[in-house]
Chain A
Amino acid sequence: MKGMAEGKAWKFGDNVDTDQIIPAEYLVTPDMKELAKHAFEKARPEFARNVKPGDIIAAGSNFGSGSSREHAPRALIGAGITCVVAKSFARIFFRNSINIGLPLIETDLPVKEGDRIRVDFEKGTVTNLTTKKSARFPPYADFLKGLMDKGGLIPYAKMMIDEERRGKR
């Protein structure tokens, strides 16, 4: 995987569920920008007002638990979040994020609210620029790396469909 993400951290605890990320009453549109207006509305009402493009979310374990709503990573992308770093992720949220191009990093690196975080995807390092502490994160499996490099599941599936069509001819 290529590139880097760097931004200010929004700090969250353990078990942040998708109802917190985007409450169910707003699941009436797939539009990322529209969803972003209501991100964390009940849990942290100031988030949608103050989030800046490039910001990063830093959380504890089981981030994104609960419902399968892809609206959750869509709302975060719409809000300009470029990466989520957490101790662990709920599996459907993990799949959804990777599939639509929101990178997630599993790390124990301590982060406080407002710390500046840099993620180097190529080197596999996450750095807290405020505390000057750094950690390595395990690389994605080759398949997922390929998926991310292609820009997500849709470009990947398109390529597979084209290959399968050519194979049939």
Chain B
Amino acid sequence: MARTFAEKIFEIKSGGRVEPGQIVEANVDYVMANDVTAPPAFEAFEKLGAQPMREKIILIPDHYVPNKDVASAIQAKSMRDFAAKWKLPNYFEVGEGGVCHQMMMERGFVAPGRLIVGADSHTCTYGALGAFSTGIGSTEAATVFARGKLWFKVPRTDRFVFSGKVRKHVFGKDLILRIIGDIGVDGALYKSMEVAGPAIESLGVSDRMTIANMSIEAGAKNLYIAPDKKVDAYIAGRVKGKYKPVFPDEDAEYDSITEYDASEIPPLVAQPSLPSNVKPAAELNVKIDQAYLGSCTNGRIEDLRAAAKIIKGKKVAKGVRMIVVPASKEIFEQAIDEGLVTIFTKANAFVSGPTCGACLGGYMGVLAPGEVAVSSTNRNFVGRMGAKDSKVYLANPAVVAASAIAGRIVDPSEVV
């Protein structure tokens, strides 16, 4: 019988036939945790009285580092201590690291056909490289530290196919916002998503990472994009160990197949307070206090380049703060080498080293009551970036940059 990607992965990783809805124990290739989710995992791990599977564990502080206060310093220290105690080879200290998902891909842990779990909901990002990856909790991460396996319910799958040519100033962000706008924040609850088609193939891996990253915003368990030559080129020189790509069968059974014409999708914005509250950027004209460019969603070099192209030689509007946060050390260095950081600072944008920062209202740009931000991040929930009555509009990097110049949310074509 023909199989979806998810069904194939769980057959390979559990070693037997599976059916959607079945619960299986599957072998996990890697497990990742960050400075928010690792401390409860360590607590749980100690109760197990087991040895950790050292090669499978990756610890990446990113949420509240560099430490924002004493409490977060204690959490970050617990990661350092745990890594030292068990001699873990893959702990990424502040300065050499970055946002955990970007690091997982850059440092070659992610490869096609792997099963990767992470104690962070945006672990689903790695599907852009043809892996099955999904977010888990801290306690279960601890059990994977010890056993290298975990229980999974084999998901049913929805498929989304994009034909047509992607428009100017349109990114992977807009395609996934279109899907979420249509199916809602629980439209893919418990499910696997497969995204395919000529428009997706035309995108670079960075845009595909954005698409996979936000599948959790539709409630999905994972999102898969078939790996191709662009993926091979990205992982070349990065990937650790061997891997074997997995592809769904052509006649696999899907719960639904939805077709889109990418050429009909303009730059979109998700209005407060749900990622599904989507509208074209051109129709908004909302005054902003802050423009935030960064995160595991859109903090990559391609995103910074697109924003810099728009902002070059211009100034951030009076009364607006623009904050730029590259997602990793590698991206930060590239941005310096390519002169992007100078373009941003000359425009009066604030540029910081890699961190999750204000994406989740941690620090480095938290919003005051009543303030409005346009942000390249992934969530616009109530109070997500600060005060409970602050507002977040999610958009692609070009919309964020254009809006920073205009002082209000605009379609990039308005300022270019």
Chain A positions near chain B (C-beta within 8 angstroms)? 15, 17, 19-20, 23-25, 27-30, 42-43, 61-62, 65-71, 74, 88, 90-92, 95-96, 99-100, 141, 143-144, 147, 152-154, 157-158, 160-161, 164
Contacts and interface: CB of A to CB of B under 8 A. Distances in A.
B48 A65 contact: no
A42 B40 CA distance: 23
B47 interface: yes
Interface string B17-44: 0000001000000000000110110011
Interface in B44-95: 44, 47-50, 63-64, 69, 71-72, 74-75
Contact of B135 (A28, A68, A141, A152): A68
B221 A91 contact: yes
Given A15-B186, A42-B383, A154 B47 contact: yes
Contact of A91 (B63, B64, B190): B190
B212 to A, nearest CB: 16
A61 B186 contact: yes
B143 interface: yes
B127 to A, nearest CB: 15
Given A27-B36, A28-B72, A19 B190 contact: no
Interface string B96-108: 0000000000000
A5 B223 CA distance: 37
B121 interface: yes
A157 B147 contact: yes
B63 A27 contact: yes
Contacts of B381: 17, 19-20, 66
A23 B186 contact: no
Interface in B118-157: 118-121, 123, 135-140, 142-143, 146-147, 151, 153
Given A25-B362, A28-B75, A141-B23, A70 B138 contact: yes
B340 interface: no
Given A68-B120, A69-B37, A154-B48, A91 B189 contact: yes
A161 B52 CA distance: 12
Contacts of B114: none
A152 B139 contact: yes
Contacts of B120: 67-68
B136 to A, nearest CB: 7
Interface residues of B, number: 52
Interface of B: 23, 36-37, 39-40, 43-44, 47-50, 63-64, 69, 71-72, 74-75, 118-121, 123, 135-140, 142-143, 146-147, 151, 153, 185-186, 189-190, 216, 219, 221, 274, 360-362, 379, 381-384, 388
A143 B48 contact: no
B388 A96 contact: no
Nearest to A156: B143
Contacts of B146: 157, 161
A95 B136 CA distance: 8
Contact of B137 (A20, A92, A147): A92
A66 B47 contact: no
A161 B383 contact: no
A149 to B, nearest CB: 15
B23 A158 contact: no
